[in-house]
Amino acid sequence: MAALRSLVLAAAVLSCLTLFSAFVPAPRVSAPVAGTATLSAAALLAPAAAQAADGDAVWIPALSAVGAGFAIGLAAIGSGVGQGIASGRCIDGISRQPEVADDLRGVLLLSLAFMESLTIYGLVIALVLLFANPLIK
């Protein structure tokens, strides 16, 4: 079933490419590039390769764990860098104008809460990939 769905989606993408090629002129290439076509076909057929031959989906849980690791890792790194930059700028602002320390502190705490919420979204995505994955039957 998954292989049939992948083939139908691949055919739909390839047919859309032929429709849109009428509107945008293709660049002139002196020699045909077979590597690009091979990579495109492999990328379109990759969901079918994720299913094992006997029906057991062994790749989906493994790649979901890798995706969960990337989701929480990138969310934590991005949020940590953003919070560090924001805190440093706030300390610079307070050191230059101590009379606006209360205003800057309130804005800093609000912005830190928003940055931390993005990390929590990454955690939610990681937990969904690990425990409530819609790709696993």
pLDDT single digits (tens) 45-57: 666 555 555 555 6
Identify the pLDDT of residue 116. 93
Q: What is the pLDDT of residue 134?
A: 79
Supply the pLDDT for residue 119. Answer: 92
Residue 44 pLDDT exceeds 70? no
Question: In this predicted structure, what is the pLDDT of residue 15?
Answer: 67
pLDDT digits (tens, 9 = 90+) for 63-119: 888 889 999 999 999 999 999 999 999 999 999 999 999 999 999 999 999 999 999
Instruction: Give CA angle at 83 (82, 86), nearest 5°.
Output: 85
| Residue among 57, 119, 108 at smallest CA distance from 86 | 108
Contact between residue 58 and residue 52 where contact means Cβ atoms under 8 Å apart: yes
Strand intervals (E) in 14-130? none
CA distance 118 to 72: 10
The answer to whether the beta carbons of residues 64 and 127 sit under 8 Å apart is no
